[in-house]
Chains A and B, each alone.
Chain A
Amino acid sequence: MNHSALFEVGLTRRHRTQKLMWGVFGLASGINMAALVLICGFLLIKGLPAISWSFLTEMPRDSMTAGGILPCIVGTLCLSLGTMCVAFPLGVASAVYLNEYARPGRTLRLIRLGINNLAGVPSVVFGLFGLAFFVTFFGLGVSLLSGILTLSILVLPVIIGTAEEALKSVPQTYREASLGLGATKWQTIRLVVLPAALPGMLTGAILGLSRVAGETAAIMFTASVFFTPNLPTSLTDSVMALPYHIYVLATAGTDIDKTRPLQYGTALVLIVLVLGMNLGAIIYRAKLQKQRR
Chain B
Amino acid sequence: MALSRKSQDTLVRNFFFLTALSSIVILALIMVYLFIEGLPIFGLVSVSDFLFGSFWYPTSEPPEFGILPLIVASLAVTALSSAIAIPLGVMTAIYLAEIASRRTRDIFKPVVELLAALPSVVIGFFGMVVMAPFLQETFDLATGLNLFNAAIMLAFMSVPTICSVSEDAIYSVPRELKEASLALGATHFETIAKVVLPASLSGISTAVMLGMSRAIGETMVVLMVAGGAAMIPNSIFSPVRPMPSSIAAEMAEASFRGDHYRALFAIGIVLFLFTLVFNLVASHVAEKHKQVGAATL
Interface residues of A (CB under 8 A from B): 14-15, 17-18, 21-22, 24-26, 28-29, 31-33, 35-36, 39, 42-43, 90, 93-94, 96-98, 100-102, 110-111, 113-129, 131-133, 137, 153, 156-157, 160, 184-186, 207, 210-211, 213-217, 220-221, 243-244, 246-247, 250-251, 260, 263, 267, 270-271, 274-275, 278-279, 282
Contacts and interface: CB of A to CB of B under 8 A. Distances in A.
Interface stretch (B14-22, B61-69, B174-182): B14-22
A29 B108 contact: yes
A131 to B, nearest CB: 7
Interface residues of B, number: 86
Nearest to B127: A39
Contacts of A207: 117
Contacts of B275: 120-122, 125
A251 B210 CA distance: 29
Interface of B: 5-6, 8-9, 12-13, 15-17, 19-24, 26-27, 29-30, 33-34, 36-37, 87-88, 91-92, 94-96, 99-100, 108, 110-115, 117-126, 128-130, 156, 159-160, 163, 187-190, 210, 213-214, 216-220, 223-224, 244, 247-248, 251-252, 264-265, 268, 271-272, 275-276, 278-280, 283
Pick the 10 closest A-B CB pairs, nearest first: A214-B119, A122-B217, A114-B24, A28-B91, A97-B20, A18-B189, A97-B16, A93-B19, A217-B219, A120-B279
A133 B91 contact: no
7 contacts: A14-B190, A18-B189, A39-B122, A113-B24, A214-B118, A263-B125, A275-B114
B265 A93 contact: no
A5 to B, nearest CB: 17
Contacts of A33: 108, 111
Interface of A is mostly: helix
B19 A278 contact: no
Which secondary structure characterizes the binding site on chain B? Answer: helix
A142 to B, nearest CB: 11
B17 A153 contact: no
B5 A211 contact: no
